A and B are shown apart, each in its own frame.
Chain A
Amino acid sequence: MTYLALLGVVAFAGFISLSYEILWFRAFSFASGGSPTIFGQLLFFYLVGLAVGAFASRIFCRDRDATGDRRNLIPLAAFVYVANLLGFLVLPALAWFATTLRAPAAMPLVAIAAGSWGAVLPLVSHFGIAPNVLAGSRLSYLYLANILGAAAGTLLTGFVLLDRWTIGSAALFIVLLGLALAALLLARSASGRRLTTLGIAVIVLTGVGYAAETRPLFDRFYERLLTQHGYLPHGPASEVVENRDGVILVTPTHEVFGGGAYDGAISTSLESDKNMIVRAYGIAALHPAPQEVLMIGLSTGAWAQVIANLPGVEKLTVIEINRGYLQLIPRYPEVASVLQNPKVDIVIDDGRRWLAHHPQRTFDVIVSNTTFHWRANTTNLLSAEFLAAVRAHLKPGGIFHFNTTGSADAYKTAFTVFPHGLRFINFATVSDSPIVMDAGRWKRALDEHRIDGKPTLDSMLPDDRRRRDEVLALARTLDAPPVAYGLESRAHALSRIDERAGVITDDNMLPEWRGANEVSFPPHLDH
Chain B
Amino acid sequence: MTSDVVAAKVATDDRNLEVSEAPAWIAIVFFVSGFAALVYQVVWQRALFAIFGINTEAVTVVVTVFLLGLGVGSIVGGLFSRVVRHPLLLFAISEFGIAGFGLVSLDLFKRVGSNAFDLSPVATAITTFLLLLAPTLLMGMTLPLLVVYLVRQSGNVGRSMSLLYFVNTAGSGLASLAAVFLLMPRLGEHGSVRVAAFANFAVGVVVLAQHLRRRDEP
Residues on A lying within 8 angstroms of B by beta carbon are 36-37, 39-41, 43-48, 50-52, 54-55, 57-58, 60-61, 64-66, 118-119, 121-123, 125-127, 129-141, 143-144, 147-148, 150-151, 154-155, 158-159, 244-246, 321, 348-350, 352-353, 356-357, 377, 379-380, 385, 505-509, 513, 515
Contacts and interface: CB of A to CB of B under 8 A. Distances in A.
B67 interface: yes
Given A40-B176, A135-B157, A352-B53, A506 B63 contact: no
Nearest to A122: B162
A interface, by DSSP: helix, strand, loop or mixed? helix
Given A139-B143, A377-B49, A50 B169 contact: yes
A134 B173 contact: no
15 contacts: A39-B42, A40-B176, A51-B168, A54-B161, A54-B169, A58-B159, A58-B163, A64-B156, A118-B165, A121-B165, A136-B77, A136-B80, A141-B78, A350-B58, A508-B188
Interface string B137-149: 0001001110110
A17 to B, nearest CB: 12
A250 to B, nearest CB: 21
B179 interface: yes
B60 A154 contact: yes
Interface in B1-24: 1-3, 6-7, 10, 17
Nearest to B162: A122
A504 to B, nearest CB: 11
B177 to A, nearest CB: 5
B71 interface: yes
Given A151-B67, A506-B189, A37 B180 contact: yes
A477 B96 CA distance: 60
A150 B1 CA distance: 33
B101 interface: no
A500 to B, nearest CB: 14
Contacts of A131: 3, 6-7, 151, 154-157
Given A136-B87, A139-B143, A350-B52, 5 more contacts: A65-B156, A137-B78, A140-B74, A140-B79, A380-B54
A57 B158 contact: yes
Nearest to B185: A513
B179 A133 contact: no
B76 to A, nearest CB: 8
Nearest to A243: B56
Contacts of A158: 56, 60
Contact of A57 (B1, B64, B162, B169): B162
Nearest to B87: A136
Interface of B: 1-3, 6-7, 10, 17, 38, 42, 46-47, 49-50, 52-56, 58, 60, 63-64, 67-68, 70-72, 74-82, 87, 117-118, 140, 143-145, 147-148, 151, 154-159, 161-163, 165-170, 172-174, 176-177, 179-181, 184-185, 188-190
A356 B180 CA distance: 28
B177 A41 contact: yes
Nearest to B148: A136
A45 B170 CA distance: 10
A28 to B, nearest CB: 13
Contacts of A123: 158
A61 B46 CA distance: 39
Contacts of B163: 55, 58
A132 B3 contact: yes
Given A125-B161, A148-B71, A47 B169 contact: yes
A43 to B, nearest CB: 4
B188 A509 contact: yes
A37 B181 CA distance: 7
Contacts of B184: 509, 513
Given A125-B157, A133-B2, A136-B147, A48 B75 contact: no
A370 to B, nearest CB: 13
Contact of B166 (A54, A136, A141): A54
Contacts of B78: 136-141, 143
Contacts of B6: 131-133
A155 B162 contact: no
B10 A64 contact: yes
Contact of A130 (B75, B157, B161): B157
Given A39-B180, A47-B173, A133-B82, A139 B147 contact: yes
Contacts of A136: 77-78, 80-82, 87, 144-145, 147-148, 151
B158 A126 contact: yes
A175 B152 CA distance: 38
B172 to A, nearest CB: 5
A159 B56 contact: yes
Contact of A147 (B17, B58, B68, B165): B68
